[in-house]
């Protein structure tokens, strides 16, 4: 017969360790066996430590944000479809709102999925945007608006963003020159937008408002380039503005 030298309890013959305190069993009856109740060590449950958002890794934070975005936009999509079916007994206006919801989800979720992969992100978002714009016009049963306005404007936007991204990616130092590139990209996009509108609406080119935009943005961009290369070239933007 085995005993626990610490607890004084009787153990089975094949038990070599006391399940209460972890002491090695002995065959001789210890004095503690007649000493009455002992203060046995209790197994305490360690409470779960609360997890804060700041304690999570960047991957976990992106995963949580992606789940919340998917849940939010998924609920919005289902609610709009059910409301359309309940109120109109048909699947009509919810098609347009559904396209907008899906597009917004793509624009919000893809940067979380393809983090630090800008060209893959562009390769996903650019075709997706064209497909969504195509769907908006296809729901009407014709494609005149998509071919005349939707496709050219979407391609213009994608090309402008791709060119701006390529230029920024090739820069060794970024500061005020980043703002210059953005302003120039806006001016180019506005010029292309007016070309698309004029060709479809007037049938000829008539540069009006895009010229005004260019005269407002391009000189500002030139000044920012000058400041970057002549003044900020030896000091980072953070030091200049004490950020």
DSSP annotation string for 122-136: HHHHHHHHHHHHHHH
Looking at the predicted structure, is the pLDDT value of residue 40 above 50? no
Q: Which residue has the higher pLDDT, 26 or 154?
A: 154
Give 103-136 pLDDT, tens digit per residue: 999 989 998 899 888 889 899 999 999 999 999 8
Mean pLDDT, rounded, for 85-114: 90
Q: Which residue has the higher pLDDT, 44 or 48?
A: 48
Q: Which residue has the higher pLDDT, 133 or 175?
A: 133
Q: Which residue has the higher pLDDT, 46 or 110?
A: 110
Whole-angstrom Cα distance, residue 235 to residue 232?
A: 5
User: Above pLDDT 70, what percent of the chain?
Assistant: 84
Confidence of residue 79 (pLDDT cuts 50, 70, 90): very high
Mean pLDDT, rounded, for 130-145: 88
Confidence of residue 242 (pLDDT cuts 50, 70, 90): low
pLDDT for residue 39: 47
Looking at the predicted structure, is the pLDDT value of residue 25 above 90? no
Kindly list the distances between the CA atom of residue 83 and the CA atoms of 66, 95, 136, 217, in Å, as whole numbers in the listed order. Answer: 25, 12, 19, 45
- When mean pLDDT is compared across 53-62, 66-75, 183-192, the lowest value belongs to 53-62
pLDDT for residue 199: 92
Whole-angstrom Cα distance, residue 123 to residue 153?
A: 17
Structure tokens that stand for 187 in this block:
């001016």
Give 207-221 pLDDT, tens digit per residue: 889 999 999 999 999
Whole-angstrom Cα distance, residue 186 to residue 149?
A: 18
Confidence of residue 170 (pLDDT cuts 50, 70, 90): confident
Confidence of residue 35 (pLDDT cuts 50, 70, 90): low
Mean pLDDT, rounded, for 68-96: 92
Confidence of residue 5 (pLDDT cuts 50, 70, 90): confident
Dihedral sign for Cα atoms in the order 166, 170, 171, 172:
positive
Confidence of residue 233 (pLDDT cuts 50, 70, 90): low
State the chain's mean pLDDT as an integer. Answer: 83
């Amino acid at each position: 017969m085995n005993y626990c030298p610490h607890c004084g309890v009787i153990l089975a013959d094949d038990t070599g360790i006391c399940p209460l305190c972890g002491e090695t069993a002995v065959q001789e009856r210890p004095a503690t066996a007649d000493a009455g109740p002992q203060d046995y060590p209790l197994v305490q449950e360690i409470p779960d430590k609360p997890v804060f958002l700041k304690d999570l890794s960047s991957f976990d934070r992106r995963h949580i944000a992606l789940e919340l975005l998917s849940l939010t936009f998924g609920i919005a999509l289902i609610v709009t479809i059910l409301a359309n079916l309940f109120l109109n007994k048909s699947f009509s206006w919810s098609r347009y709102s559904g396209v907008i919801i899906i597009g917004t989800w793509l624009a919000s979720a893809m940067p979380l999925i393809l983090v630090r992969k800008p060209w893959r992100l562009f390769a996903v978002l650019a075709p997706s945007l064209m497909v969504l714009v195509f769907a908006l016009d296809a729901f009407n049963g014709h494609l005149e608006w998509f071919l005349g306005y939707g496709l050219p404007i979407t391609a213009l936007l994608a090309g402008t963003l791709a060119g701006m991204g390529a230029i920024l990616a090739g820069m060794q130092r970024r500061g005020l020159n980043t703002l210059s590139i953005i302003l120039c990209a806006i001016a180019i996009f506005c010029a292309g937008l007016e070309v698309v509108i004029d060709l479809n609406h007037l049938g000829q080119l008539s540069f009006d408002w895009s010229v005004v935009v260019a005269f407002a943005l391009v000189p500002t961009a030139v000044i920012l380039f000058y400041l970057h290369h002549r003044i900020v070239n030896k000091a980072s933007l953070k030091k200049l503005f004490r950020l």
